[in-house]
Structures are given as structure tokens and as C-alpha cells.
Amino acid sequence: MLRGLRIVAENKIGVLRDLTKIIAEEGGNVQYAQSFPLRFGEHKGKALIYFEIEGGEFDRMVEKIRKLDYIVEIEEEKPFEQIYGKRVIILGGGALVSQVAIGAVSEADRHNLRGERISVDTMPIVGEEEIAEAVKAVSRLHRAEVLVLAGGLMGGKIAEEVKKLRKSGIRVISLSMFGSVPEVSDLVISDPVMAGTLAVMHVSEKAKFDIDRVRGRRV
């Protein structure tokens, strides 16, 4: 079972080393970690560190960490999977991204009302280099499972990054557009609202739609 641990600490060298050492000593396996300096609020300038830990003596980890002199706050939190759930990512031109988002948000709302957790992330972005970098970064996003590319023309470096992303296990839906991206995507859909709807249905545990069963199709 995953358990989340939020820590506010002094922002200095060696903090992550000490924390991960304690977690390992108590038999915990870090499944996810993030760390960044706080820019606002009462702890501005301190470091916020978050771990999702599997197994081990969790209570002993917390007590050991709490005794470190540079710890400001420590608190158990629910893992992101239980709060935000699986992620659908939408990238591309603003007008088409918004249409895809209509379908995705509406479908996610339907599933979330029934107890699932599916979140939708959007980013209007243009330019081959910019979109290619954004596609590449999706593989580093925690809990991302499917990407929808919404635009009128995408190819070149974007298509190369789509190929790599699919190898990492993330499914890619493309709108029907000019360029080579549709040729290397898992599914091509002409209706942006339907694209968003099917993206959410793919990640849902209760829907009966699987991109892998219709891979290569154009709708």
C-alpha cells in the first residue's frame, strides 16, 4: 500500500540523502518523489519534499525524520492516485485543445461522480520545437496515461517524440490533421470532443473502451 509523506525542511545540501536513507533503513521503497523550494507563504525559501512510499515501518520513518533538526513540518498525506487519479494530457492549438477538453472533462466528471479519479491537463502550445519538447516531457509526468494532440499540422520532430512516447507505454490520440503525427499515433479521430471522451474512456477502469483494440484506426 502506498502512503504519502509531505515534509517541509530547510533548503540545504544533504536533506534528500538523509531522508531517503531513513526510508531505506526502515524498509520503505520510494515509488514517487518530488522536491522544490517554496516561493510563497510562511515557509517561503524552505523546501517542500513529498514521497510516496511502499512498505516498511512507516510510523518509525516518520518519527526518525521528525527528530532531524532541519525539519519544519511533517505530515502523512493521501497518494496522488487517490486524489487526482489517472491523467489525460491535451496539447496543441488553443481552440482545438478547448474542444478536446470539453469531451474529456465531461466524460471524466461522469466517471468521477461514480468514485473514480481521472484528471485532465491542458496546455495550448504552438511551434514544432515547443510541441516536441512538451510531448517528450509527458513521459516524465506522474500518472500520465494518454496524450491527445490537437492541431491542424504536426510532424517532423513531434512525430519522432510521439514514437518514443508510445514506446514508454503512454497511448497517443491524434486529431485528423496534416503532417506525419497521425501516421505514428495509436488512434486518429476527426471530432475533437470525441477524442477527449475516448481518451478518458481508455483510462477508466469502468468504461469498455481500449485504444489497444482499435489501434491504427481513423474515426
Give the separation between CA 109 and CA 11, rounded to whole angstroms: 39
Provide the 3-class DSSP secondary structure of residue 58. helix
Give the pLDDT confidence score for residue 144 in this predicted structure.
Answer: 97
Give the pLDDT confidence score for residue 71 in this predicted structure.
Answer: 98
CATH for 2-80, options being 1.10.10.60, 3.30.830.10, 3.30.565.10, 3.30.70.260: 3.30.70.260
Domain residue spans of the chain: 2-80, 84-213
Q: Are 110 and 136 in contact, with CB atoms under 8 Å apart?
A: no
CATH fold of 84-213 = Rossmann fold (3.40.50)
Give the pLDDT confidence score for residue 107 in this predicted structure.
Answer: 97
Q: Which residues of 138-152 are buried (b: 16+ CB within 10 A; e: fewer)?
A: bbeeebbbbbbbbbe
Give the pLDDT confidence score for residue 217 in this predicted structure.
Answer: 77
- The answer to whether 2-80 and 84-213 have equal CATH topology is no
The stretches in the chain having pLDDT less than 70 are none
Give the separation between CA 192 and CA 197, rounded to whole angstroms: 9
The alpha-helical segments, DSSP class H, found in 36-177 are 58-66, 80-83, 94-112, 128-138, 157-167
Give the pLDDT confidence score for residue 166 in this predicted structure.
Answer: 97
Give the separation between CA 21 and CA 163, rounded to whole angstroms: 37
The model's pLDDT over 28-48, given as tens digits with 9 standing for 90+, comes to 999 999 999 999 999 999 999
